[in-house]
Structure 1
C-alpha cells in the first residue's frame, strides 16, 4: 500500500518527535538487521474460553488448568499450527466458521530500546492480497445514516447482507508478574463466555446487572478473573472500590493495539488495559466516533477540495485511502450538502493533535508491502501512569501477541501462548530487547 500524500503529511508531523514525550529514534533509522528476529507462532483459538479450558471438554485437562498449570505443560511449542488448522474449521469450538480463514500465522518479532523508548517490530504475511485498512462506514439511506459493513464473524456479513469491512490489528498484552496465572495461561485469562461473539451475554441481562451498571458498560468484554467474585461468571463483578484496590496493586494487564485504520494513519497506537473490562487509558485516543449522538448525523465529512469528493460510495470505496483526518482532509459535516442515497462517511475521525494523556503514550508506524505488514510500536520506558505497565531496563515481562487479519475482530484473531520479553537481560527469555547505542 502506498501511503497517500495526506497520510504521509500526517505521519511526518506525528508525535515521533513530540515535545510531550522523550524524543524517539525514527524506527526507520534503526538497523533492524542487527536485531534478532523471533518467530512467534499464532493460532486461531475458536471459542476456547477461560470457562471451556476448565471444563471436562478440554481433553480431561480442565482440572489441571483450574489449578493453574501452564498451557505449555501439556502443549508443546510447535503445536500451534495443528491446533489452529483444526480449530478454524466448523466444529464444537467454531460454530460459525469463516470461509478462507487461516488457522495459523507466523509473527516475526524484534525488540530494541534506548534510554527513552522501547521499539517493538512486528512482521506478518496477510491472508488478504491487499491491506485491510478500511473500517465500517455510515451510509446514507436517503433518510438516515446507518452502519455499513462489518467484520467477517458478523451475521449480516456471513449472510451477504453487508460487505466484510474491518481493519487489520496487532496487539500485545503485557504483565509485569503481578497478575496471577498470566505467566502460565496468558491471554486466555481475559477471554470469557459472555463476551462479543463468545456465547454473548444478552443486552438486557447486562443492562440489569448491578456491577455492569456501576462500570457504566453495556456489553461484556475482556476481563481478568480477579475482577469477579466467581471468575467463571461475568455477572459477578466486584465493586468499583475493590477494583480500584486491585488496579493500584498492579493487578491488570497492559494492552497496546495498533490499528490499520484508526491509529496507523496518524502514527499512533491506542493504549489500554484489562481488568474488569477492556479499558482505554485515561485521556483521549487518536480516534473518535464520527456520529453526533443528538442529531444522529456524522460530525465530519471529507473536504472535497482535498479528498476529491465529500463522500465515498459502495462502488468507489477501496480505490483510495478512506481515512478521515482532522487538519488534513476533514471538515465539519454540512447536512445541506446534497446527500444522496449510498453516500458513505467513515465511522471514526482521526487526530494525533487531539490525542492526550496516558491514552496517547504510544506511537507507531506501519507499512504494507509485498503482502506483508511491517509495524513498529514506540513505547516510552519507565512510565508512571497508574494505568500503564512501566517497561524498565533489566526487567522481564509476560506477554501475549494477537493479530486480527483479513477483516475480522473479537475472537477471530490468531493468538500466541504466553511469551517472555526482556530488556537487556542475561537470563533466558523468548524475546530479548537489544539496547541501542
Structure 2
C-alpha cells in the first residue's frame, strides 16, 4: 500500500527546492546505511537509573555513558525483550508487543538542507495512520480510541487507536550529559504513564508549570528544576529563559503518521522545562469545540464521498482531515447517527507558520515498511532551534512509536552522533 499523501508531499516539496536537492530524487542507494537497534525501555526513568535498583547507578551519577556498560552486540534486543514483559519496570504490559525494532538511518546534506532517511518495519500489516476520533453516541460527540497503555484500552472499554510516530532528539553539545545518557535525561518519574504520575492538584501547586500554563508533566531537562530529581520543584521563568538563550535545550522533531504525514511535514519542538512546540503554529490542531464538544470540521462529502466514517471502516482507507483539501465547517444538522466518527484532529500545511513549520517530510508505507525522509533547513537562527551546519557533529537519539501507543511505550536508542561532513556514528554525505 502506497499512501496518496506521499505524492501530495512530493509535489508540494519539490516546488520549493529550486536551489537545493529535490528530496524525492536523492539517490539513497549511494548513501551509507547505519542500522540502529531501538528497544522498549519500560519505566526506566532517570531517577530509576540513579537508584539502587540499577546496577550501573554509580556510573550514571558520575556522568558516564549508558554504553560504557551496555556495549554488547545484542544488548538492545536483550534489554527490549526483557523490559517489554511484566516486571518491575513494566506494570502494564501490552499483549504481543515487540521488544525492539531495527531502524535503518541514512543522512545527506547540501547547501540548503539536511536530509535524514529512516526505514523501519511495523508490527502490524497496515500503516498506523489512524488516530483518535470524535464519535457520536446518539446524543454527544465523545473521544473514541486511545493508546494501548491507557487503562480503558487494557480493560477492553476502548479500542487501541493511535498514530505511528518517529522522533529525533538532537543537541549540539550544550546540554550536559545528553551525549552520554541521551533521551533518558528527559524521562522522569511523575510524567505521564511513569511511576508516581502527577496529580492535577500537584500540577496546580507547581509555580513553574503554572507560569508556563501547563496542566500535566511531560519531558523536561534536570537543569529546569531546583532539585533535578523532583519535577515538583522548578526554577524561575528568568532562569528558564536564560537557559534557552544559552542553547541548553534539546531539539525535538516528531513525524506523525496521522497529524503531519498527510501534509508532508515534521513538527518542530524542544525540551527544556516541558516538551514544547516551537513558536508559531503547528500543522495540526484539535478538532473538538471547547464549548459545544462538537467537531469544528467534518469531511467535505463533495470531495471525499462521505462526511464521516464508522468503526468498521477503520484502516480501510486514508482518513486524514485536511482543512484546505477535504474539510468543511461542521454542520450539527447534517443528520448524524449513532456511531458516526470524525477525526479528533484536523491538519493543515497552509496554517503551519513560524519556527514550528521549519521541517518537511516525505513518507510512505509499503509491504510493512515505513520510509520517512526528514528535511531540515541548515543554519536556522530561531531561538528555539538547534542550527545544523556543515562540519558540525551532533548528539542524536531516535524513537519509534508503533502499534497504537504513545508516551513511554516507544522504542528508543542509546545516544548516537550525527556528522555533516564530519566523523560520527552517522555521517551525512554532501550531495553534488
Give the alignment's TM-score, normalised by structure 2. 0.97
Shift of 1:308: 1.4
Shift of 1:28: 2.4
Q: Tell me if 1:312 matches 2:321.
A: no
Shift of 1:15: 4.3
Shift of 1:318: 2.0
* Corresponding residue number in structure 2 for 1:17: 15
- From 93, 99, 112, give the equivalent of 2:95: 99
- For structure 2, the 5+ residue unaligned runs are none
Equivalent-residue separation in structure 2 for 1:194 and 1:34 (angstroms): 45
Shift of 1:208: 2.2
Q: Tell me if 1:64 matches 2:53.
A: no
* Corresponding residue number in structure 1 for 2:224: 227
Does the 8 A contact of 1:10 with 1:328 survive in 2? no
* Corresponding residue number in structure 2 for 1:147: 143
SS of equivalent to 1:27: coil
* Corresponding residue number in structure 1 for 2:251: 254
Equivalent-residue separation in structure 1 for 2:251 and 2:292 (angstroms): 36
Equivalent-residue separation in structure 1 for 2:19 and 2:153 (angstroms): 44
Residues 239-263 of structure 1 deviation map (CA, whole Å, 9 limit, x = unaligned)? 1110000000000000000010000
Q: Tell me if 1:120 matches 2:122.
A: no
* Corresponding residue number in structure 1 for 2:71: 76
Equivalent-residue separation in structure 1 for 2:390 and 2:38 (angstroms): 27
Alignment of 1:7-406 (within 5 A): 7=5, 10-18=8-16, 23-59=19-55, 61-78=56-73, 79-199=75-195, 200-406=197-403
Does the 8 A contact of 1:16 with 1:23 survive in 2? no
SS of equivalent to 1:359: helix
Equivalent-residue separation in structure 2 for 1:48 and 1:181 (angstroms): 17
- From 420, 428, 432, give the equivalent of 1:433: 428
Residues 31 and 13 from structure 1, CA distance in 2 versus in 1: closer, same or farther, beyond 3 angstroms? closer
Shift of 1:26: 2.5
Shift of 1:77: 4.8
Does the 8 A contact of 1:292 with 1:299 survive in 2? yes
Aligned length: 430
Equivalent-residue separation in structure 2 for 1:56 and 1:258 (angstroms): 36
Residues 210-263 of structure 1 deviation map (CA, whole Å, 9 limit, x = unaligned)? 221111000000000100011110011111110000000000000000010000
Equivalent-residue separation in structure 2 for 1:167 and 1:220 (angstroms): 21
Residues 49-76 of structure 1 deviation map (CA, whole Å, 9 limit, x = unaligned)? 01000000002x2122112111011110
Shift of 1:368: 0.5
Does the 8 A contact of 1:133 with 1:260 survive in 2? yes
Does the 8 A contact of 1:22 with 1:116 survive in 2? no
Shift of 1:27: 2.1
Does the 8 A contact of 1:424 with 1:433 survive in 2? yes
Residues 371 and 409 from structure 1, CA distance in 2 versus in 1: closer, same or farther, beyond 3 angstroms? same
- For structure 1, the 5+ residue unaligned runs are none
Does the 8 A contact of 2:145 with 2:159 survive in 1? yes
Equivalent-residue separation in structure 2 for 1:205 and 1:373 (angstroms): 40
Equivalent-residue separation in structure 2 for 1:222 and 1:22 (angstroms): 38
Residues 273-293 of structure 1 deviation map (CA, whole Å, 9 limit, x = unaligned)? 000000000001111111111
